[in-house]
Amino acid sequence: MAFTVNPIKFGTDGWRGVIAADFTFERVAMLAPLSAKVLADNYGKATDSNTVIVGYDRRFMAEDFAKVAAEAIQEAGFDVLLSECFAPTPAYSWAAKAQNALGAIVMTASHNPAAYLGLKVKSAFGGSVSPEVTQQIEAILDQPVVPAAQSGKLEYFDPWPSYCQGLQAKVDITAIKDAIASGKLQVFVDVMHGAAATGLERLLDSTIIEINSDRDPLFGGGAPEPLPKYLADLFRTIKAAAQESPETIRVGLVFDGDSDRIAAADGEGNFLSSQILIPILMQHLFQNKGFTGEIVKTVSGSDIIPKLAKLLGLTVYETPIGYKYIADRMLKAEVMIGGEESGGIGYGTHIPERDALLSALYVLEAVVQSGKDLGEIYAELEKKTEFHANYDRIDFPLPNMEVRAKLLERLAEETPQTIAGKSVKDCLSVDGYKFRLEDDSWLLIRFSGTEPVLRLYCQADNMIEVRKTLEWAREWASS
């Protein structure tokens, strides 16, 4: 039986492939030292280092692939610090900067389904490398990996302590712990069987109700992505707690497979995407912590973000989808917060990396300082900005990458002028195709950089219009 092995190609954050088909020990042993070489070319002079961090999440055989990567990098003449345990991807980005390393190479496929594993390349400054750096790696994939005359050293390290200490210094940990200890605050966490497991308990040294904390490489038959369809356990747990102690403020937090993306739930068990969390965090950081700087959003970000930024007197910078674009902006400008629709949020006072555990701490701090439920805080922001809209996104699987190419061609040659009965006011094609419609609602059609998947995003006045528009897009793709 013949099957297709896809070429190594970097997407929005690293290279991902199906385990044993695309993602193999042989390919990792080839790619890891080439990536280390490019890190040295780009950051060697600035760091005067020869060390590369290697880490992994909790996916199937992730630690074994990390060991293969570490040994291949070592044979290429680099010193390696290999994690002795799983940890969030942001912890390895933190380690790269804290250890003054050339960068980090992390075995993770983030939110992808169980069949996938991947390799992320992180820079010396503690964030995703730029598209230019990944292009340099792709350009030398056909070069042979030549062992160095002298191998480097390989040592093990625990990435958690330094990382936790760094995050704890950024928030009022005592206030959060006191609220939990006094019974005023209950924290529920769905770690989705991923690398955030034990994270909040380590950070807060408090009683956290953590679910799906066991290692399950099949992710309960779903995917470790913070979307409502995977979070029934969390919603059910919060709703049960609401019956028992209605006076307590309840916060639900969700982390993806490698803990760089976040979502939440309010005290009634209602899902809150980062489209809601980013405005809440903007207000908290500006008003309660005195932070200033640019707001960076991707093209899929909610329209409430620029409206709130205007009220706060802050400027907005828009990028294509992919946190590497936000990280790149953080290196060039003073940024307060940068975030993606998919849950990746980062901060100018931190490393230029999306970090779900730090976002969780800021969310808890905002709740404790306000004494209000997350749903209540957001409702007040809607009133303040005079903006109310509903949002949803669906992922539409495609048969193969050839269908993806045909749909892209069709979008370019037959760009829709009418969508779901509404005329198109304008179209932004910086990343996919974002159609602004006559009633100011919008539809974004774009393709996954790592899978044969069409991503459809919509924001409109109400969920009926959102679903109608998304269904139109689904039928358009199917036809």
**Strand ranges, E, within 205-270:** 209-211, 249-255, 262-265
DSSP state of 148: P
Averaged pLDDT, 403-407: 86
* pLDDT one-digit tens code per residue, 119-163: 999 999 999 898 899 999 999 999 988 899 999 999 999 999 999
User: pTM for this one?
Assistant: 0.94
Pairing of strands 79-83, 51-56: parallel
Flag the least confident range among 84-88, 274-278, 409-413: 409-413
Q: Report whether 101 contacts 152 (CB < 8 A).
A: no
Q: What is the model's pLDDT at position 325?
A: 87
Q: Any long-range contacts for 394-398 (C-beta under 8 Å, 24+ apart)?
A: 394/455, 394/456, 394/470, 394/474, 395/448, 395/453, 395/454, 395/455, 395/456, 396/453, 396/454, 396/455, 396/456, 396/473, 396/474, 396/477, 397/452, 397/453, 397/454, 398/452, 398/453, 398/454, 398/477
What average pLDDT does the segment 184-206 reach? 97
User: Could you read off the pLDDT of 272-293 as tens digits, one per residue?
Assistant: 999 999 999 999 999 999 999 9
**pLDDT at residue 200 tops 90:** yes
- pLDDT tier at 310 (50, 70, 90 boundaries)? very high
Both tokens of residue 316? 């907005």
- Topology of domain 15-163, per CATH? Alpha-D-Glucose-1,6-Bisphosphate; Chain A, domain 3 (3.40.120)
Which H helix or E strand runs over 323? Answer: helix 323-330
The order of strands in the sheet holding 15-18 is 15-18, 116-123, 103-107, 51-56, 79-83, 154-157
Distance CA(180)–CA(187), nearest Å, equals 8
Between CA 366 and CA 289 the distance in angstroms is 10
**H helical segments located in 150-300:** 160-168, 173-181, 199-204, 232-244, 274-283
Report which DSSP code applies to 7. P
Integer Cα distance of 36 and 476 in angstroms:
43
> What confidence category does residue 3 fall into, taking pLDDT thresholds of 50, 70 and 90?
low
Instruction: Please answer whether residues 110 and 257 qualify as being in contact, where contact means their C-beta atoms are separated by less than 8 angstroms.
Output: yes
Written as six digits, the tokens of 379 are 């409702």
> Which residues does 413 contact at the CB level (< 8 Å), separation at least 6?
none
Question: Is the Cα dihedral 438, 439, 440, 442 positive or negative?
Answer: negative
Strand-pair partners of 337: 295, 347
Asked whether the predicted pLDDT for residue 73 surpasses 80, the reply is: yes
Q: How far apart are CA 390 and CA 458, in angstroms?
A: 8
Asked which of 38-52, 168-182, 310-324 is least confident by mean pLDDT, the reply is 310-324
Q: How much of the chain, in percent, has pLDDT values that exceed 70?
A: 99
Cβ proximity of 414 and 423 under 8 Å: no
Residues 362 and 373: their CA atoms lie apart, in Å, by 14
Is the predicted pLDDT of residue 61 greater than 90, yes or no?
yes
What are the residue boundaries of the structural domains of the chain, listed by start? 15-163, 170-385, 390-478
Rounded to whole angstroms, how far apart are CA atoms 31 and 172?
42
Q: Is the pLDDT of residue 114 over 80?
A: yes
Q: Residue with structure tokens 């009683």?
A: 207
Binning pLDDT at 50, 70 and 90, where does residue 449 land?
Answer: low
The CATH H-level superfamily of 390-478 is: Alpha-D-phosphohexomutase, C-terminal domain (3.30.310.50)
Residue written as tokens 């010193």? 79
Identify the residue with better confidence: 399 or 422.
422
CB 55 within 8 A of CB 92: yes
Identical fold between 15-163 and 170-385: yes
Confidence of residue 206 (pLDDT cuts 50, 70, 90): very high
What does the pLDDT read at residue 447?
A: 87
The pLDDT of residue 2 is 55
SS3 content of the chain, % helix, strand, coil (to 5): 40, 25, 40
Whether 134 and 120 have beta carbons less than 8 Å apart is answered as no
| 324 band by pLDDT with thresholds 50, 70 and 90 | confident
Q: pLDDT tens, 9-58?
A: 987 678 999 999 999 999 999 999 999 999 999 999 999 999 999 999 99
Burial of 186 (0-12, 13-18, 19+ CB in 10 A): buried
Is a pLDDT exceeding 60 seen at residue 225?
yes
Among the residue ranges 63-77, 229-243, 362-376, 407-421, the one predicted with the least confidence is: 407-421
Domain 170-385 has CATH 3.30.390.10: no
Burial 229-265 (b: 16+ CB within 10 A, else e): ebbeebbebbeebbeeeeeebbbbbbbbbbbbbbbbb
Pair 324, 129: CB distance under 8 Å: yes
Long-range Cβ contacts of 128-133 (<8 Å, 24+ apart): 128/13, 128/323, 128/324, 128/327, 128/353, 129/39, 129/42, 129/103, 129/324, 130/324, 130/327, 130/328, 131/324, 133/38, 133/39, 133/42
Mean pLDDT, rounded, of the chain: 95
